[in-house]
Structure 1
């Protein structure tokens, strides 16, 4: 039986740095994940989107 949760990488929309790895349930939430997180390269909170 396959796992419902898959690992995704979050990428900063400002500088393009891949900063975070998390999991999500693709069956329950098929849309792309987007969240405000701190980017150490930019030095501020920026929008991070799911990398495809």
Structure 2
């Protein structure tokens, strides 16, 4: 029998980059990463600095609902 994961949950991280009018971006749309976190150790929303292929730079990704 398999065990449950306990306090680990799957979360989605979404890019918060804003596109200025003169900035050239690669693609249209919103880019998202999925990962897991431990609810007991990090009860707050997670923020990570990751690469966004839409704006072609590193930006802050925030946890969404």
Take 1:23 and 1:43, find their aligned partners in 2: how far apart are those partners?
24
Gaps in structure 2 of 5+ consecutive residues: 19-28
Gaps in structure 1 of 5+ consecutive residues: none
Task: After TM superposition, give the deviation of residue 44 of structure 1 in Å.
Answer: 0.5
- Tell me the number of residue pairs that the alignment of Structure 1 and Structure 2 aligns: 52
Q: Highest Rg: 1 or 2?
A: 2
- Say which structure is richer in strand: 1
Provide runs of 4+ in structure 1 moved above 2 Å.
Answer: none
Q: Deviations over 1:14-38 (max 9, x none)?
A: 1572421000001111011001000
What residue number does 1:41 align with?
54
| TM, length-normalised to structure 1 | 0.85
